[in-house]
Structures are given as C-alpha cells and as structure tokens.
Amino acid sequence: NTAGFTLEKYRDNVLAAIQALKKQHPDAEKHSNGYRQLEMHLRNGIREVEDTMLAAPAPYKPPLQIVRQDLIAMDEELIKLLFPRRPTDHHPSTPPSEKQP
C-alpha cells in the first residue's frame, strides 16, 4: 500500500522535526514560530490521513488508524509545548465575600 507507506514516512518525518525543534529551541513559549508552523502543518496532515481513510479499502484502514493516532498524539504534544501553563479547573471551596455598602 503506497499511501500507507507514504503516510508512515510522513509520521516519521514529523517526529524527527519535533525532536529537532526541541533540541534547537527547547522553550516553545519563547521560540514558538517553528512549533506553530509544524502544528498547523500537522493538523493538515491529520486531515489528509482522515481523507485517505475514507477512500481506503477495509484491509488498509488499521495501519492508517495507527498513523492517525500517532499524529494526533504528536499534535497534542506540540500544543502542550506551546501552552504549558493552562488554567486549572480549580474552583474555590468558599464563595468570595461580598462587600457590604
């Protein structure tokens, strides 16, 4: 399956690009340009895999699903690197005191 092989190679290239970015610019918040570009490209790649899965015969779908899951995991990793400090869902146990007039 040529499409499957091509997408597996794409996945491997994305992984290599992420590793190179981490090595060259470990702080994604301060040096976000490459991370953002790769994340946008990766989103498009995920869509391409999903489109290929729709057209692929059933026997070819399982390897494509694995590639898709790997790409989604890499995309989530890039998002976490770009936005490491997400607000928590911590709600105070007591309501804030109201000021009396």
Q: Cβ distance 74 to 15 under 8 Å?
A: yes
Of 59, 81, 77, 41, give the one whose Cα is nearest residue 3. Answer: 59
Q: What is the pLDDT of residues 25-75, one digit of tens each?
A: 988 888 899 999 999 999 999 999 999 999 999 998 999 999 999 999 999
**SS3 labels along 54-88:** HHCCHHHHHHHHHHHHHHHHHHHHHHHHHCCCCCC
Residue showing tokens 């936005």: 83
Q: What is the pLDDT of residues 65-90, one digit of tens each?
A: 999 999 999 999 999 999 987 666 55
Dmax over Cα atoms in the chain, in whole Å?
74
